[in-house]
Amino acid sequence: MTFRRSLVALVICVLGARAAGVSADGLQRLYVLDCGRNIGKDQSRWSPGVNEGQAIEFSDNCYLIRHDKGVLLWDTGVPDAVASLPEGMVVANGAITYKRAKTLAAQLAELGVKVVALSVDDEREHDARDPELHDRHPDDPRRQEVDVL
């Protein structure tokens, strides 16, 4: 259901952009990829005082954009390694569980996207001024191997 809402929101944004005169010149195709789920134990973590103790689930979508000038991957989602963990990966001191049904690498391969390895940091998990940004251990869950198109 969450994936469906995300897709509907994306379609509305695209239609709105076209109505506003924004051009999609060169756009060949947009793929919405399932890049995991985040299951929170307590919804009030994101809305203090509201829905305390109620669980919440967020989709983590990635977008592959084929354009005349190349291919762009927007986001990498939950780390691919989580797909091999049946119970998911517990993070944020137990407040959130990451889950992933299929790896990003497998989804890209199904689309015929040839990839090469590149190590990157997940910028959503840290402040850009983090002095440890470049010194993270390779096993840090916020650091992952991803594929470059």
- What integer is the mean pLDDT of 74-91? 94
> In 3D, which of 146, 8, 135 has the Cα closest to residue 78?
146
Residue 59 contacts residue 124 (beta carbons within 8 Å): no
Residue 147 contacts residue 117 (beta carbons within 8 Å): yes
Q: Note the pLDDT tens digit of each residue in 99-147.
A: 999 999 999 999 998 776 555 555 544 444 444 444 545 555 555 544 4
Q: Is the pLDDT of residue 85 over 80?
A: yes
d(CA 45, CA 41): 9
Any idea which of 21-25, 68-72, 95-99, 144-148 has the lowest mean pLDDT?
A: 144-148
**DSSP annotation of 122:** -
Architecture of the domain delimited by 25-148: 4-Layer Sandwich (3.60)
pLDDT for 25:
85
Q: Note the pLDDT tens digit of each residue in 39-73.
A: 999 999 988 999 999 999 999 999 999 999 888 89
3-state secondary structure of 47: coil
- Which residues partner with 139 through β-bridges? none
Q: Is the pLDDT of residue 23 over 80?
A: no
